[in-house]
Structure 1
Amino acid sequence: DIGCGSGLNLKFWESKNLRLYGIDISHKALKLSKKVVQNANVSVADGQNLPFNDETFDIITALGVIEHFPEPKKGFEEVYRLLKPNGKACIVLPNSFGSLGKIIGFHGTEQEQELMLTLDEWKLLLQSTGFEVKRVLRDRGPKIFKNWKIHKIIARFLLRLTLFLPKKYAYVFIFHVEKNGNKSPSHSNGISSQ
């Protein structure tokens, strides 16, 4: 798990009887992770330059992390490098065109570095790295309305409304991608990560 943070995603996988690895750039987060998951190898590392051999992993997760890298394309290339042929990754990425964000005036997090792209732009970037995009799911977003001082019926309506909007308006995208056998990735994409 790239950007394993407090270890909640690793905790989910722990019950699957797998050999688990988590990396994060934060020492503080890894201390929490070690408390939550006993059977994972967690370490501090830069997600753009990971300390593992090529084609080490069958599955990699990166949930809301790579968009914060100084060069997200390098993060995707690193995931591609580490996956075995036909290995799979689940990568969660933000939508610059998300309807919920537009409605409430949310345009990303308060973090210094965050690349926001549309569904088509993320797909293009992932494909240019060599991935085959197998499936894209959407997330409606955080349950922010429950803390608003608006009537509960209106809050429920707004959340349900997001279910009927096209995928391109999702809050975030959940990409299920696969490494294309032994094909080497293309390194030009026309999208700047700056």
Structure 2
Amino acid sequence: MGLSTSTIHEATINTVSKLHLKFPCEHLDIGAGHGELISLMRSKFDINSSACDYTDSLMRLPDVSVKIADLSNENLPYPDESFDLVTCTEVIEHLEHYRSTLREIYRILKPGGTLVLTIPNILNLKSRIRFLFFGFYNLFGPLHISESELHSTGGHINPVSCFFLSHSLLDAGFKSIEVSIDKKQGTSIAWLLPLWIPIQIFSKLILRREKNRYKTVNEHNESYVLQINSLDILLGRTIVVGCKRV
């Protein structure tokens, strides 16, 4: 669905190399677009790739057929435990019910299978500043009424932060969640110098209140809460998440 950049593809492949060690394998690319990621994956790994998207008109690989699914309203069109590896780059932000889709991905993965997905990082400093002054995250601008290009930022309807993505993956049953980024963003780096110390001070004060007064943070979710103000999240352009089905 989303048309990813070469940097996102490279980061996805690096995460696959780190987490998925069993080849050959059955691979599904959700939101396959033109097929660039499938082509790159084939050049790096011994895989048999399948594609799923909201349309087959974007696919440029002649030997890859695309199963069409509207994931905002439909389940993935595959039996249980069909794939060893699923990639899903720049798709989640286009979906109305992304948690349902993550549960579907868990269903079609084999035990021990790997999921690698990416989303725009709405919590880098560039995006936080934009939200403060404009009310919209970076890459999540005002939407047109009754029209949008689904494969572009005009189809970005669901801004999901790294915390809520990790939470939804755990809720779906995934384990061993690893979060990284594709690259550091120049504008966010520029904002880091004046904002780093205030972020550290105020985030600690707010965290203490969340723990002691509201009881929203405990030993089970604290690491994911702290992650949102890590350097990677403050500076990264795109979130890359890898995880495993038990």
TM-score (norm 2): 0.57
2:167 alignment partner in structure 1: 124
User: Residue by residue, what CA displacement relative to the aligned partner does 1:73-126 show, whole Å, maximum 9, x if unpaired?
Assistant: 011011101100010010102233122333566533442452223222211111
CA contact (8 A) 2:184 2:232 kept: no
Identity fraction in percent:
24
- Name the structure with the higher helix share: 2
Could you tell me which runs of 5 or more consecutive residues in structure 2 were left unpaired when the two chains were aligned. Answer: 1-28, 132-136, 141-152, 194-229
> Relative to 1, partners in 2 of residues 1:135 and 1:162: Cα closer, same or farther, differing over 3 Å?
farther
Q: Which residue of 1 aligns with 2:101?
A: 75
- The 1:162–1:74 alpha-carbon spacing in structure 2 relative to 1, beyond 3 Å, is farther
Whole-Å Cα distance in 1 between the matches of residues 172 and 187 of structure 2? 36
TM-score (norm. length: structure 1): 0.71
Structure 1: any 5+ residue segments left out of the alignment? 143-156, 181-194
1:96 aligns with 2:162: no
In structure 2, the CA distance between the partners of 1:63 and 1:38, relative to structure 1 (3 Å rule), is same
Q: Bigger radius of gyration, 1 or 2?
A: 2
Cα shift at 1:176: 0.4
Tell me which residue corresponds to 1:46. 70
Aligned-CA RMSD value: 2.7
How far 1:161 sits from its partner (Å)?
Answer: 5.5
C-alpha deviation, 1:139, in angstroms: 2.6
Q: Which moved more, 1:166-175 or 1:76-85?
A: 166-175
Q: Does structure 2 conserve the Cα–Cα contact (< 8 Å) formed by 1:94 and 1:171?
A: yes
Count of aligned residue pairs for this structure pair: 161
Q: 1:166 to 1:27 in 2, by over 3 A?
A: same
SS of corresponding position for 2:154: coil
Instruction: Check 1:140–1:163 CA distance in 2 against 1; reply closer, same or farther (3 A cut).
Output: farther
In structure 2, the residue matched to 1:146 is: none
CA contact under 8 A between 1:70 and 1:113: conserved in structure 2? no
